[in-house]
Structure 1
Amino acid sequence: MTVEDMLAAARSTLDRVDPAGAQTLQQEGALIVDIRPEANRAAEGEIPGAVVIERIHLEWRLDPAGSHRLPQVRPGQAVVVVCNEGYASSLAAADLRRLGVEATDLDGGFRAWKAAGLPVQEGPSPAVP
């Protein structure tokens, strides 16, 4: 199996959203989760209201049955995972779905959000430990 195969398999489980769709989901109560490294967030900015969770902590902080779950994560809440361009986020969202999280990812990542002219704030915000 190649990484392209892994990506295709992950995406086959997702209903990916475009930037406008992600913004709509956020307005309806979805949690936007930014998994980008601090350097990217500092250089390019962040989506207002997004929760920053480094990839290494992602499953621990969003596991519906986990003791390390973030308090703002509600059962059944939609989660949109965001990376730079929408590759790592697809793999991460597929992993979250295996945990029972209603996860998807932002097609094109943060850069698509920014290119669409949607709100961006200066970063980096601290990541959730």
Structure 2
Amino acid sequence: MSVTDHDSTSKLDAHLVDPEGAHARVEQGALLVDVRRAVSRQNFGVVPGAEHVDKSEVDTRFADGDRSRPIVVFCGSVAGSGPVVEQLREFGYTDVVHIDGGFEAWKNSGLPTEELPAG
């Protein structure tokens, strides 16, 4: 791992929260954003109330948003959510975190999830 890679990883880790911390933020009004692909959502379930945003649409979906609103991002892993957190921070969002362990950690913590209907 190069120094640049390590710095990048440390930067992403600085914005990690555990599932319970993420849930507390959402309960206090943070926007919960699921950036997993549709197939992952269909196969593994969803978090009720989470807004699904395709990673390729982050720039357009958040171009005109309230940059002070807290946002919690999750994917299947931090490798998927971390770049989205950094992208939102580059857009000027000031309170953006992602879930350590992603959707699986949320689900394994006993927090609310549901299956999508087949089809």
Whether 1:77 and 2:69 are equivalent positions in the alignment is: yes
1:10 and 1:90 in contact (8 A); partners too: no
Partner amino acid for 1:120?
Answer: T
State the 4+ residue runs in structure 1 displaced beyond 4 angstroms.
Answer: none
Whether 1:110 and 2:99 are equivalent positions in the alignment is: no
Q: Which runs of 5+ in 2 are unaligned?
A: none
Deviation at 1:111, TM superposition (A): 0.6
Distance in 1 between the 2:77 and 2:105 partners?
7
Deviation at 1:10, TM superposition (A): 4.0
Deviation at 1:7, TM superposition (A): 4.5
1:7 and 1:91 in contact (8 A); partners too: no
Q: Which runs of 5+ in 1 are unaligned?
A: 67-72, 125-129
More helix by share: 2
Structure 1 residues 57 and 10, CA, compared in 2 at 3 Å: closer, same or farther? farther
Alignment correspondent of 2:47:
47
Alignment correspondent of 1:23:
23
Mean Cα deviation higher: 74-83 or 33-42: 74-83
Q: Structure 2 length normalisation: TM-score?
A: 0.85
Number of aligned residue pairs: 114
Q: Choose which of 66, 78, 89 in structure 1 pairs with 2:81.
A: 89
Alignment correspondent of 1:121:
114
- What's the % identity of the aligned pairs? 33
Partner amino acid for 1:30?
Answer: A
